[in-house]
Amino acid sequence: MSEIPRHAQTVHTVETRGIGLYGFSGSVDRWLSEIGAETGVVTVFCRHTSASLTIQENADPDVLRDLAEFFARLVPEDAPWFRHREEGPDDMPGHIRTALTDVSLSIPVTEGALALGTWQEIYLFEHRRTPHHRTVVLHFAGY
């Protein structure tokens, strides 16, 4: 292990096909390997206000479907009190769903890889119906 802490940063794009959760832990692990990360922390930051980040189970796809359905019921698109409608009926619900989740995650890096549990995956949670190119900033600090 080197004695001088270091930092590295990159921007990663997640292509979405509409509302849903899109896993990208493998991309983060590949980047950590490319930069020679050993031990530290990676921060993942979503640069959008109608998409968010979460860590969830990657084994049963019903978990992802149930989460998307829960948020659709919790924040419906047809709420009559929404004033912000310029970008479509799914935009304001997307902002609220983002406010209820996270736009930044900090994950330990151990032995050059994300220290996620066996069934955990990092997901970008797309809250809009149309496809998007979502960008996340990855920042590693450590050795």
Domains by residue range for the chain, with CATH = 6-142 (2.60.120.460)
pLDDT of residue 2: 54
Give the closest residue to 125 by CA, choosing from 86, 74, 79: 74
Q: Give the model's confidence band at 4: pLDDT under 50 very low, under 70 low, under 90 confident, else very high.
A: confident
pLDDT in tens, 65-116: 999 999 999 999 989 999 999 899 999 999 999 999 999 999 999 999 999 9
Question: What are phi and psi for residue 97, nearest 5 degrees?
Answer: -60, -35
**What percentage of the chain exceeds 90 in pLDDT?**
94
